[in-house]
Amino acid sequence: MNIKKQFQHFFWSTFCVIFSFAYCIASEGEITPPLYIAHAGGAIENQTYTNSLEALNLNYGKGFRFFEMDFSWTSDSALVAIHDWGETDTFRQMFYVPPDMTIPTKAQFLQLKSKTGLTQLSLEDVLRWANEKGDVFIVTDVKNDNVKALQKIDTDFRKYKKYIIPQVYKYKEYYEVKKLGYSNIILTLYKMKIDPKEVINFARNNSLFAVTMNERTTQSGLAYYLYRYHTRVYTHTINDINFFNSLRKIGVFGIYTDYIAPLNEQPYTK
């Protein structure tokens, strides 16, 4: 390697480390990663996990351009934006649900009366909203049959696929999703039994948009070592800007958040 090439290599390596990969993302495509991802569409009127149209619009106005959204399967094999049907009782907390209804059809879900006055969404509704905005990305959090869901997007909604940043929950899923043509993939650890060495080796050997983990895992030291090996790390769900600043010191690039506004890095007024 000649002197000029050695200098270029040193310069770009140093540049990437110092700026935590905020702008050095040629391998990830043209997407500039955000510091803030709106969790479940972001909070609205002190409500979280709504995955609603109003939450998307409000938080878009607050400066968010990346939105993590929960998707669950209906009884007729459609995807709608809701955290779950019973695990945390989100379904019955948000809607007036008939006593005998467990998992609705897509049509039934969209016709349910909301207790919050917010508008529920199907997968297609979310994708159309993203297309109307034109400058947003949807980070998927599919509760079951994740690869099947991403296959469905690829087959049924291919024209909207460019707005999708899929999360995967297993190493095997990464390869399956990669084959579907998704290039910006997040490995999220909350469903995994974590072996730090395995995570680090996987991140070093594969092209990831990021690795996402909870607060406890972040503070175990894993975030720092991923950062050292040039892998972007997000933590969920963080709503304290001072705490986020402390996480930055141990290798965290960004956060999933309900309340922190990207425009001014200040908590929303609840």
Contact 179, 108 (CB under 8 A): no
Q: Amino acid identity of 223?
A: A
Contact 142, 76 (CB under 8 A): no
Q: Are residues 22 and 146 in the same domain?
A: no
Average of per-residue pLDDT across 9-28: 37
Which candidate, 17, 102, 59, 4, places its Cα nearest to that of 260?
A: 59
Angstrom distance (rounded) from CA 260 to CA 267: 4
pLDDT at 19 over 70: no
Q: Are residues 35 and 18 in the same domain?
A: no
SS3 (DSSP) at 167: strand
Which candidate, 91, 101, 49, places its Cα nearest to that of 259?
A: 49
Q: Are residues 22 and 78 in the same domain?
A: no
**C-beta neighbour count of 91 within 10 angstroms:** 21
Residue 255: phi, psi to the nearest 5? Answer: -140, 155
* End-to-end alpha carbon distance in the chain: 57
CA distances (Å), origin 214, targets 6, 113, 176, 179, 247: 39, 33, 24, 27, 12
Q: Are residues 86 and 217 in the same domain?
A: yes
Q: Higher-confidence residue: 10 or 223?
A: 223
Q: What is the CATH number of the domain that holds 129?
A: 3.20.20.190
Average of per-residue pLDDT across 202-231: 96
CA distances (Å), origin 204, targets 50, 225, 228, 230, 264: 35, 11, 10, 8, 33
pLDDT, tens digit, 9 for 90 and up, residues 81-136: 999 998 888 899 999 999 999 999 999 999 999 999 999 999 999 999 999 999 99
Q: Are residues 14 and 35 in the same domain?
A: no
| pLDDT for position 194 | 94
Distance of CA 3 to the CA centre of its chain: 42
Please give the tally of structural domains in the chain.
2
Q: Are residues 117 and 133 in the same domain?
A: yes
Per-chain mean pLDDT for the chain:
89
* pLDDT band, very low/low/confident/very high, at 23 (cuts 50, 70, 90): very low
Residue 94: phi, psi to the nearest 5? Answer: -95, -25
Q: Are residues 185 and 115 in the same domain?
A: yes
What beta strand segments (E) does 126-216 contain? 137-142, 164-168, 186-188, 210-214
* pLDDT band, very low/low/confident/very high, at 263 (cuts 50, 70, 90): confident
Q: Are residues 156 and 69 in the same domain?
A: yes
Q: Are residues 5 and 45 in the same domain?
A: no
Q: Are residues 8 and 79 in the same domain?
A: no
Angstrom distance (rounded) from CA 55 to CA 250: 31
Tokens matching residue 85: 């049907």
Q: Residue 5 sits in which domain range?
A: 1-26
* pLDDT band, very low/low/confident/very high, at 80 (cuts 50, 70, 90): very high
* Secondary structure letter of residue 86 according to DSSP: S
Q: Are residues 105 and 53 in the same domain?
A: yes
| pLDDT for position 170 | 97
34: left (phi over 0), alpha (psi -120 to 50) or beta: beta
Q: Are residues 18 and 35 in the same domain?
A: no
* pLDDT band, very low/low/confident/very high, at 22 (cuts 50, 70, 90): very low
| pLDDT for position 143 | 87
What beta strand segments (E) does the chain contain? 36-38, 66-73, 79-80, 137-142, 164-168, 186-188, 210-214, 233-236, 254-257, 260-261, 266-267
| pLDDT for position 6 | 43
